[in-house]
Structure 1
Amino acid sequence: MSIFSKIKQTISLLKDVDLDALGKLSQKVDLPEVMTAVGELDDRQLKGLMKMLKSQGKKGQHKLPPIDGDFYDLSLKLTERQREIQLKVRHFMEKEIKPIANEYWNKAEFPFEIIPKMAELDICGIAYDGIGPDEQSFLMEGIIAMELARIDVSISTFFGVHSGLAMGSIYVCGSEEQKQEWLPKMQRMEKIGAFGLTEPDVGSAVAGGLGTTCKQGGDEWILNGQKKWIGNATFADVVVIWARDEDSGRAKGFLVRKGNPGFKAEKMENKMALRTVQNALITMKDCRVPESDRLQKCESFKDTAKVLKMTRAAVAWQAVGCARGAYESALKYTKKREQFGRPIASFQLIQNHLVEMVSNLTAMQTLCFRLSELQDEDLLTDEHASLAKVFCSMRTRDVVSRAREVMGGNGILLEHDVARFVADAEAIYSYEGTKEINSLIVGRAITGYSAFVS
């Protein structure tokens, strides 16, 4: 090899060397003299020099894989339009919600200023024919629930109550007049909805009889009773109230408007989870509702159950989002946190926790993806939805627990986000049907025997 060739090869190699470092080197040594010396090296010596320069040029540049909880690349199964919506929601949550999530969660207040911004996303009622945007599917409803919960489960719950439970009740059980009056405004988030089913003394047993009663008198109904844990109810424009008809014993639904006499919603305090959600204790005392505001297509609790089945899948997706947010936060932390001179992500026991987390998360995602496919194919059953709710809410608890564990003491600080996911996972575990009740629904389907106590 000629001296010219050796120098040319060395110059080519130096392109990979940090230019700032090269500039500083030129101030200390005579580079032309160095290049002349390089040209006098034999092949063995030159190879040694090149190896040394390569190792120096790449020092500290160990490339790490991206932080992404979609380990099986399920996003590749989405259409271009679906992926566009997913990323639009993700960007909104990263930009608008993440910077304020801990603050509002900590002070148990709701950021009302985000509602007009959320409305611009045009995602409310995305699964309802003729109501939502062009991309109508339950799969997208689930993906949206996941993306919202990935940053803040409280915001996901607010949205799920409004777009899922409240709008869903009107969509399934409302008359055409009621749909026309409420759904377009709710889709644009000009009017916000709430859903009142759970009561102070009746949670899982609502199918067996509601404590809240309704009685018809002429062209109006009189409602009496209480509802508890009703999200959005302190500020909602309309609250869907489910009550037992004193005459027939059947469940009926009502649209109770904001400011209706005899209706009182008190904010529930001292919660350890979903603190941003404004849950209310509702008291109705001779609350008069016109017949025109009774959900005209609700004749029994079976109609109420249709709404719950439709929205339970989204709650399973919400659990996926909570787990994904915790996993990604923990993974990011372990890459930056150093102990004994290196990132803790390089330790065997930490990697074991991370693998357990991503395994659970991947199983949850694939289960929910198939669940939503069944829903879009109109093949969803109660047991399908219940199995997803049981499995995902249980696995989420495990994921958030491990996320907190790999962070050590820092895991209980809000600033690292995981503490919020740990607390919020407990709410997901209980609402939309407890683990025990959903397990019995699945158990009845696979054995043929009902273990419910009647």
Structure 2
Amino acid sequence: MQLFKNMKQIIHLMKEVDFKELGQISEKIDLPKIMKSVGELNDTQLNGLMKMLTEKAKKGQRKLPPIDGDFYDYDLKLTQEERAIQLKVRNFMEDEIEPIANEYWNKAQFPMDIIPKLAKLNICGVAYDGYGCPGLPFIMEGIIAEEMARVDVSISTFFGVHSGLAMGSIYLCGSEEQKQEWLPKMQRLEAIGAFGLTEPNVGSGAAGGLETTCQKEGDHWILNGQKKWIGNATFSDVTVIWARDLESNQVKGFLVRKGTPGFKAEKMENKMALRTVQNALITLSDCRVHEQDRLQKANSFKDTAKVLRMTRAGVAWQAVGCARGAYESALKYTKKREQFGKPIAKFQLIQDHLVEMLANLTAMKAMVYRLSELQDHGLLTDEHASLAKVFCTMRTRDVVSRAREVMGGNGILLEYDVARFVADAEAIYSYEGTKEINSLIVGRAITGYSAFV
């Protein structure tokens, strides 16, 4: 029995040997004769032969290329400091988030214990100047978004809402006193922010149709209405609420502090995407906010749009990260998964899917990189951000679909990660402006005609 077992192992090893590299011609091997000779060996000789074949098989193994979605080496464009931050975020995501991502996504819970660990990275408000923020180029906001989404889009969304939308609203629209009070704490993640714009009945039409209202009463404002899909709002310390002034009909922004009477946040259940993100339905019932907590530089929706323009670029980067995570997961799987006696990565149809995925991913990366360059030069427009958001989220859907395809039935299991990327891509596709709305923003820019209504 032991002899039979050893012979099977030897045959398996011999099949893996690259005989061309060893200077032999595999087609001329007389396997039956070798089997007969092997059967006549004693245990000592047999063990020696197995050891020799094992060593030769290892030497003969082909070194496969690394699994890396940065096919055009865009990382080489980063400075030493930027590259160090990128790797710091990558290590955090792989060490701290990847092992728990599927568990918390499945439970629809947020891993609160990661917040202090995330704070140590010192990356919140990375492109803002002052208030404890690093003041680095906007390209780093994109790199961080990609690195996070590459492992878990939910954590990337949590970070984008806090660092981009909430901190960005205060940074762009707040008074100096408001910036001094909130931004340093938020930069250290000692205070968590949320951003309340979307409503149950108002999504794409937020520019002119907000149903949440505000009315001045002495030195306070009275807020009434509802907000929906508000990430982080179940545990945020401050929530930016956008409301329509009943007197002027203009949109104004407010910083609603945790525990303010009349503010109620209920967790939204039964989502199929971004399940780790704690989205809330917010109800404002005669919620009284002091004038000092009104965003002093937010006087119309144009000011709200400044925040959205800045963060929409980050969403495009998120899409790149989601696509990259799916592509790299699928590529890794195809190298290990065997069918018909060999890894499925050796089959032409699988390679075709992988190349299509990589082509989409590479084109997306080129677009968002240029987008951030425009942002860093102060040239970013609504249409620039919208085009990137449209293209990247559409291509991401294609990438995750192909990733799921090459994985067959295993593609719908959380343990292989791609199922989560497939679901989360649907959320990225819709939030911060649907494909249709962003297309019309670009259409208006290139034709000179507005087709919104």
Q: Which SS does the other structure have where 1:204 is aligned?
A: coil
Relative distance call for 1:132 and 1:322 in structure 2 (3 A) is farther
Per the alignment, residue 177 of structure 2 pairs with 177
Unaligned runs of 5+ in 2: 1-20, 23-40
Q: Cα offset for 1:54?
A: 13
Scaled by the length of structure 1, what TM-score is found?
0.88
Q: Which amino acid aligns with 1:376?
A: D
Contact 2:127-2:134 at 8 Å conserved across structures: no
Cα offset for 1:26?
12
Determine helix, strand or coil for the equivalent of 2:264: strand
Shift of 1:60: 5.1
Which 4+ residue blocks in structure 1 deviate beyond 2 angstroms? 24-29, 52-60, 131-135
In 2, the alpha carbon distance for the partners of 1:81 and 1:387 equals: 29
1:35 maps to none
Consecutive unaligned residues of structure 1, counting only runs of 5 or more, are 1-12, 15-23, 32-51
What amino acid is aligned across from residue 321 of structure 1 in structure 2? G
Report the AA paired with residue 141 of structure 2. E
Return the index of the structure with the highest Cα Rg: 1
Taking the aligned partners of 2:87 and 2:312, their CA distance within structure 1 comes to 23
**CA offsets 1:79-136 (integer angstroms, 9 cap, x no match):** 0000000000000000000000000000100000000000000000001111454451
Cα 1:413–1:60 change in 2 (3 A) is farther
d(CA) in 2 for partners of 1:88 and 1:367? 24
Residues 233-291 of structure 1 deviation map (CA, whole Å, 9 limit, x = unaligned): 00000000000000000000000000000000000000000000000000001000000
Conserved? CA contact 2:383–2:442, under 8 Å: yes
Matches within 5 A, 1:311-350: 311-350=311-350
Given the alignment of the two structures, is residue 211 of structure 1 paired with residue 211 of structure 2, yes or no?
Answer: yes
- Map 1:6-405 → 2, pairs under 5 A: 28=45, 56=56, 61-131=61-131, 133-134=133-134, 136-405=136-405
Alpha-carbon separation, structure 1, partners of 2:126 and 2:107: 31
CA distance in 1, matches of 2:218, 2:450: 41
Distance 1:291 1:133, change over 3 A: closer
Give the letter for the 1:409 counterpart.
G
Give me the whole-angstrom Cα distance separating, in 1, the residues matched to 2:303 and 2:392. Answer: 25
Q: CA deviation at 1:53?
A: 9.6
TM-aligned CA distance change 1:56 to 1:307, over 3 Å = same
* Separation of aligned partners in 1, 2:270 and 2:70: 35
Q: Is the 8 A contact 1:82 1:135 kept in 2?
A: no
Q: Residue 184 and residue 55 in structure 1: after superposition, are their counterparts in 2 closer, same or farther (change >3 A)? A: closer
Contact 1:125 1:131 in 2 (8 A): no
2:408 aligns to what? 408
Name the Cα RMSD after superposition: 2.0
Could you tell me which residue of structure 1 aligns to residue 440 of structure 2?
A: 440
SS at match of 1:269: coil
CA offsets 1:187-234 (integer angstroms, 9 cap, x no match) = 000000000000000000010121000000000000000000000000
Cα separation, 2, equivalents of 1:158 and 1:143:
16
In 2, are the aligned partners of 1:268 and 1:281 still within 8 Å (CA)?
yes
CA contact (8 A) 2:222 2:286 kept: yes
Helix, strand or coil for the counterpart of 2:67?
coil
Distance in 1 separating the partners of 2:126 and 2:341:
49
- The alignment of Structure 1 onto Structure 2 pairs a total of residues equal to 411
Distance in 2 separating the partners of 1:140 and 1:435: 25
Residue 327 of structure 1 contacts residue 399 of structure 1 at CA under 8 Å; is this kept in 2?
A: yes
Distance 2:392 2:131 in 1: 29
**Matched residue, 2:16:** none
Report if aligned partners of 2:166, 2:194 keep a CA contact under 8 Å in 1: yes
CA gap 1:249/1:412 in 2 versus in 1, 3 angstroms: same
- The one-letter code of the counterpart of 1:367 is M
Q: Contact between 1:124 and 1:132, CA under 8 Å: does it hold in 2?
A: no
How many Å separate the matches in 1 of 2:222 and 2:82? 45
Counterpart amino acid of residue 28 in structure 1: Q
The answer on whether the counterparts of 2:125 and 2:134 sit within 8 Å (CA) in structure 1 is no
TM-superposed CA distance for 1:371, in Å, is 0.3
Q: Percent identity?
A: 81
**How far did residue 55 of structure 1 move?**
11
How far off its partner does 1:447 sit?
A: 1.1
Distance 2:248 2:412 in 1: 51
Given that residues 411 and 419 in structure 1 are in contact (C-alpha distance below 8 angstroms), is that contact kept between their aligned partners in structure 2?
yes
Q: Deviations over 1:402-425 (max 9, x none)?
A: 000000000000000000000000
- Return the alpha-carbon distance in structure 2 between the equivalents of residues 179 and 392 of structure 1: 33
Distance, in Å, in 1 between the alignment partners of 2:342 and 2:320 is 31
Which residue number in structure 1 is paired with residue 34 of structure 2? none
